[in-house]
């Protein structure tokens, strides 16, 4: 392999035979090296193959200022997440999570702490991702001898969720707020507390995640089945009343009018989570 670009002493890029680019990290791998010279194979520590050109370009720019140790930790977090969640992650997480953690560490050094306003919601709604965030936070604090607060575990979780959903961070935060608002409507309507470890609660939250995505994107279910919704509304009257409250709330707050198909599925999930 021959060097295509020298990004800094520890980072280079190479071009493969098919024209795709690899970003390679290794301590001193580019020291006194020039474009066209052979890569020292023994110094290779990390290899990144990012398919999206814009993501790859942003990543290379970021690596000019990020310590190699931090990038190694970020890759460990991403690989651990993929293995434990068994989900694909948008490759932009290499940029967004690295950038966030680098900035978080700079803030810590300056004594500037940012609170995570959605920490409680993240803990409740995204437990697996938050646990990964906690594990990552522990690794970062030990590695760099710092003491980032638990809020950062929530921020790490948000970046993971964002990569799972293929959304940007702002949309993911809006989705999290939306889900909590809907849960509160159901709780107050039925005056209940949910069994948050139950399968039906998990199904309800999963439905709300995709439901929220459609609302923020502005799409609907195509099939508007009046007959089936009327049947479900008659069978589960109290759940249907709760759905009507949610419909009014969403129309007023998000200017999104729910179709009967959306109300149908929402009513079914509410009935399950409340009564089973």
Average pLDDT on 83-91 reads: 89
Q: Which two tokens stand for residue 157?
A: 């979780």
Do the two domains 51-166 and 171-275 of this chain adopt the same fold? yes
**Banded pLDDT at 225 (limits 50, 70, 90):** low
pLDDT score, position 183: 95
pLDDT score, position 138: 96
pLDDT score, position 223: 54
Q: What is the pLDDT of residues 184-199, one digit of tens each?
A: 999 999 999 988 878 7
- Whether the per-residue pLDDT at 28 is higher than 70: the answer is yes
For tokens 């990144």, the residue is 48
- Whether the per-residue pLDDT at 175 is higher than 80: the answer is yes
pLDDT score, position 214: 80
Record: fold of 1-49: Transcription Regulation, Sacy; Chain A (2.30.24)
**Banded pLDDT at 45 (limits 50, 70, 90):** confident
Residue extents of the structural domains in the chain: 1-49, 51-166, 171-275
Question: What is the CA 17 to chain-centroid distance, rounded?
Answer: 33
Q: Which of 87-91, 216-220, 263-267 has the lowest mean pLDDT?
A: 216-220
Architecture, CATH, for domain 171-275: Orthogonal Bundle (1.10)
Please give the CATH superfamily to which domain 51-166 belongs: PRD domain (1.10.1790.10)
pLDDT score, position 130: 95
Q: What is the pLDDT of residues 103-146, one digit of tens each?
A: 999 888 888 778 888 888 888 888 999 999 999 999 999 999 99
**Banded pLDDT at 245 (limits 50, 70, 90):** very high
């Amino acid at each position: 392999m021959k060097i295509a670009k020298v990004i800094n002493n520890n980072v280079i890029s190479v071009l493969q035979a098919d024209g795709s680019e690899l970003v390679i990290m290794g301590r001193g791998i580019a020291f006194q090296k020039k474009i066209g010279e052979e890569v020292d194979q023994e110094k290779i520590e990390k290899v990144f193959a990012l398919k999206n050109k814009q993501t790859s370009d942003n990543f290379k720019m970021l690596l000019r200022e990020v310590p190699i140790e931090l990038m190694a930790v970020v890759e460990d977090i991403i690989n651990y997440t993929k293995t434990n969640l068994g989900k694909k992650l948008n490759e932009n997480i290499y940029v967004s999570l690295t950038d966030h953690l680098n900035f978080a560490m700079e803030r810590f050094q300056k004594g500037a702490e940012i609170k995570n306003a959605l920490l409680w919601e993240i803990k409740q709604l995204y437990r697996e991702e938050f646990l990964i965030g906690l594990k990552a936070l522990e690794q970062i604090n030990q590695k760099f001898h710092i003491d980032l607060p638990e809020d950062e575990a929530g921020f790490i979780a948000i970046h993971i969720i964002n990569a799972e959903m293929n959304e940007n961070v702002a949309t993911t935060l809006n989705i999290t707020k939306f889900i909590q608002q809907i849960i509160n409507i159901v709780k107050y309507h039925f005056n209940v507390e949910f069994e948050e470890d139950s399968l039906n609660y998990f199904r309800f939250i999963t439905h709300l995640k995709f439901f929220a995505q459609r609302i923020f994107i502005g799409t609907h279910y195509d099939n508007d089945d009046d007959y089936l919704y009327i049947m479900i509304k008659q069978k589960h009257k109290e759940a249907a009343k709760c759905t009507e409250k949610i419909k009014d709330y969403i129309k007023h707050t998000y200017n999104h009018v729910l179709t009967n198909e959306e109300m149908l599925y929402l009513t079914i999930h509410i009935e399950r989570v409340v009564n089973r």
